[in-house]
Each structure stands twice: as structure tokens, then as C-alpha cells.
Amino acid sequence: MMVKWWRVNSTIEQLLAANLTPSETASNFAACGMHSALEIQTVTTEKKKKKKKKKKKKKKKKKKKKKKKKKEKEKRKEKKKRK
């Protein structure tokens, strides 16, 4: 059973990478004899949304780091001017 689930997950990733239409994905999964097409479409859309959310969080973290670095540089410059 575990091998079969791994195959399902790998084929979902391949279909996501191929950017197929929903009807094409349904026919591909039907040919493989896997889950119903509707279930698979919902799984693929959920996976895409999760990936996008993660990317947005990373961008926010990078912006925060850049702001911190700028503030630190300004503080260093002020200290040098005082001396």
C-alpha cells in the first residue's frame, strides 16, 4: 500500500509540473486507474495554494532582514560620526 501512495504523489507532482488542463489531468489519472478525478483535482489545487503561501512568507522575511541590516548600518554610521 505504501508504494501505491508514493506513486500517486509522484504522478500528482508530475502533472503539476506539466501544467495540464483539469480535463487532461482527469483523463491521465483515469488511465492510471487511481482515485477519482475530482479528488485528485482538489488535492492538486490545495498543494499549489500551500506552495504560494510559503513563498510569500519567505519574501516577507527577506524584507525584514534587509530593513534590519539598513538600520544597523545607520547606527554604525552615527556612532562613527560621534567619535
Mean pLDDT of 5-32: 62
> Would you state the pLDDT for residue 1?
39
Instruction: Dump pLDDT digits (tens) for 46-58.
Output: 555 556 666 666 6
Evaluate if residue 16 carries a pLDDT over 80: no
Closest-CA residue to 36 (of 24, 47, 45, 27): 27
Domain ranges of the chain: 2-82
Coil, strand or helix at 20: coil
Amino acid type, 40: I
Evaluate if residue 41 carries a pLDDT over 60: no
- Global pTM value: 0.26
Evaluate if residue 4 carries a pLDDT over 50: no
